[in-house]
Each structure stands twice: as C-alpha cells, then as structure tokens.
C-alpha cells in the first residue's frame, strides 16, 4: 500500500484494491475445488474509451497499448493449472515475459511507439 495511490482519487483506488482482494479471497475459498482466481493488471495504460474520454484523451491514447495485450495475457493465464496458479496478482507484460514473449511492439496503439504511459497503481 502506498498513500500516493489514495490521494486525489480515493474511491477509484479502493475499487482497484477491492478487485485484487476479491481475487485473493476467492482463490483461498475455491482452491479445494481446483478453481483458480487471479488478478491481472496492465503495466501501461490501455487504449479504451475510459482512457480516451475520462483520463487523458488523444494524447494518452497515443501513449497506450491496445486491449489485445490483456486478451493475450489472459489466454496464457488460462493455460496454467488451476491447482498450481491461484491467488496471484499478475502484470500483463511480466506474465507475457514469463511465456517468452518480450517483443510487445504489436500492442502499441500507435504503431512504432515505444513511449508508454505507466498505468495508475503500478509502480514503475
């Protein structure tokens, strides 16, 4: 926990933390049934309507990755054994790197961009 994430946007921060706590609790509750619960967070902002309309507009969109990085990360996460992989908090690019995928250029919202804006709530 870091106070900087709470200052200025307490309600949003609480909702983000709650998502992770729910995943953590479900992992413990469902483990006997071999049902996994994990959380996935993006390392950078993702080019979504929320980023475009609420957070930063066109400038932030240009510094974001496409939603496909989340979809691909989820696909690899779902390939893991539910008995062995539960109760984790993953970062998309770290999860992909663990699968040997380090060239993330195809996920740039603006092709060729290498300067991405770090997602809120993820330390650099």
pLDDT tens-digit map of 43-80 = 998 888 887 667 777 888 898 999 999 999 999 999 99
pLDDT tens-digit map of 54-64 = 777 788 889 89
Catalytic residue among 12, 33, 107, 117: 12
Is 76 a catalytic site residue? no
Instruction: Judge whether residue 92 has pLDDT over 70.
Output: yes
Neighbours of 87 (CB within 10 A): 16
Q: Is the dihedral of CA 103, 109, 111, 114 positive or negative?
A: negative
Which is nearest to 94 in space by CA: 33, 17, 41? 41
CATH superfamily membership of 3-107: NAD(P)-binding Rossmann-like Domain (3.40.50.720)
In the chain, where the domains are located: 3-107
State residue 7's pLDDT score: 83
pLDDT tens-digit map of 15-40 = 888 988 999 999 999 999 999 999 99
């Amino acid at each position: 926990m870091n106070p900087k994430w709470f200052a200025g946007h307490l309600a949003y921060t609480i909702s983000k933390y709650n998502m992770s706590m729910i995943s953590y609790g479900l992992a413990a509750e469902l483990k006997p049934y071999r049902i996994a619960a994990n959380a996935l967070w993006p390392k950078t902002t993702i080019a979504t309507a929320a980023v475009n309309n609420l957070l930063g507009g066109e400038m932030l969109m240009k510094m974001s990755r496409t939603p496909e990085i989340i979809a691909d990360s989820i696909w690899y996460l779902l390939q893991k054994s539910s008995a062995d992989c539960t109760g984790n908090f993953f970062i998309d690019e770290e999860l992909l790197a663990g699968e040997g995928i380090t060239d993330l250029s195809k996920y740039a919202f603006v092709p060729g961009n290498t300067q991405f804006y770090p997602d809120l709530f993820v330390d650099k």
